[in-house]
Structure 1
Amino acid sequence: MNKLSEGKVQVYTGNGKGKTTAALGLMLRAAGAGMDIYFGQFMKTGDTSEAEALRRFLGHAVTMEQYGSGGELFGPDRERDTACARAGYEKARAALVSGRYDLVVLDEILVAEHLGLLAVADLLRLMDERPEHTELVLTGRWAAEQVMQRADLVTEMGEVKHYFHAGVPARTGIEM
């Protein structure tokens, strides 16, 4: 049975750190409220710390899938990356329209659209087909204007200072 009488569409975007982290925090809150959650990660693959934590602590509440090749940003292959994104989109769309989930988080889908692996029309379709009782969260840099206009809530994470620019790589447990 769905827990929300009316879901909304949220967008977490911007160049600052914290978009996925905010979505994970929302998932923790939703799990605590007994909600069923779907977490689809575009452009990510493998054993990230968040994937391990979700399996270990929230496996009863969260269905998680990853649809990345892992090389979209650092070793792009247009055909492979588009195929991964399209296959992921179809899985995520099926999960969303199933009506089974109270919360659907599509992590980095905005980046996949920005890179041309998905179309803005794909994201707008998800927003249009979202069941009334389902909360939909889209994350990633570079949200398209049409997506932000259609969303109910848009949060932009702004970078003020980041240690990445000083050469600090992504750290397990903090950024990955």
Structure 2
Amino acid sequence: MSKLSVGKVQVYTGNGKGKTTASLGLVLRAAGAGMQIYFGQFMKKGNTSEIRALRDFLSGAVTVEQYGSGAELSGPDRERDTACARAGYEKAREALTSGKYDLVVLDEILVAEHLGLLAVDDLLRLMDQRPEHTELVLTGRWAAEQVCQQADLVTEMGEVKHYFHAGLPARTGIEM
């Protein structure tokens, strides 16, 4: 039974840091409200700090799945990466339409679409198939205009300054 009287579609996009972090904040808030959450991650695979925290501390509230090969960006293989994204899309669609979840977060799905691993029509179809009482969050850089037009909320993270440009790599617990 959904805890939301009405669900909406949110998009977190832009070149700034914070899209996944914002979605995880929403996951934490929803878990605190007793909601059931599905967190599907495209383009990523591995035991990052956020995945460990979701599994270790929120396993009763959050179902976590990752759909990346782990090498999409460092060693792209179009056939493999498309297969991972398509399989992830089907799992995400099943989770979204199951009625089991109050909140469904599809992290980095916008990047998968931008890279051509998924079609913009796939994302629009997910938005159309969303049950009325389920909140859907799509994250990643380069949100397609059609997705932004159909969404109920769009937040663009804008980079003003980032220490990465000064040579500081991603840090465990902060960026990963």
Q: Tell me the TM-score normalized by structure 1.
A: 0.99
Q: Secondary structure at the match of 2:83?
A: helix
The answer to whether residue 65 in structure 2 is matched with residue 61 in structure 1 is: no
Q: Aligned equivalents of 1:11 and 1:132: distance in 2?
A: 17
Per the alignment, in what secondary structure is the counterpart of residue 175 of structure 1? coil
- CA distance, structure 2, for counterparts of residue 84 and residue 167 of structure 1: 31
Query: 1:148 & 1:70 partners in 2: Cα distance?
Result: 28
Please give the alpha-carbon distance, in whole angstroms, between the structure 1 residues aligned to 2:114 and 2:164: 22
Which range moved further: 142-151 or 68-77? Answer: 68-77
C-alpha distance in 1, partners of 2:97/2:55? 24
Instruction: Identify the residue that residue 132 of structure 2 maps to in structure 1.
Output: 132
The correspondence of residues 151-170 of structure 1 with structure 2, limited to 5 A, is 151-170=151-170
Cα displacement string for residues 19-44 of structure 1 (whole angstroms, at most 9, x for unaligned residues): 00000000000000000000000011
| SS of residue in 1 equivalent to 2:173 | coil
* Alignment map for 1:94-173 (pairs within 5 Å): 94-173=94-173
2:82 corresponds to: 82
Asked if residue 36 in structure 1 is aligned to residue 36 in structure 2, the reply is yes
Shift of 1:113: 0.2
CA offset at residue 140 of structure 1?
Answer: 0.2
Matching residue's letter, 1:168: L
Partners of 1:112 and 1:169 lie apart in 2 by: 23
Please report how far the alpha carbon of residue 70 of structure 1 lies from its aligned counterpart in structure 2 after TM superposition: 1.2
- 4+ residue runs over 6 A deviation: none
Can you give the 5+ residue segments of structure 1 that lack an aligned partner in the other structure?
none
Q: Tell me which moved more, 69-78 or 127-136.
A: 69-78
TM-align CA RMSD? 0.5
In the other structure, the counterpart of 1:45 is 45
Q: One-letter code of the match for 1:147?
A: V
Letter aligned with residue 5 of structure 1: S
The 2-side partners of 1:111 and 1:156 are apart by 14
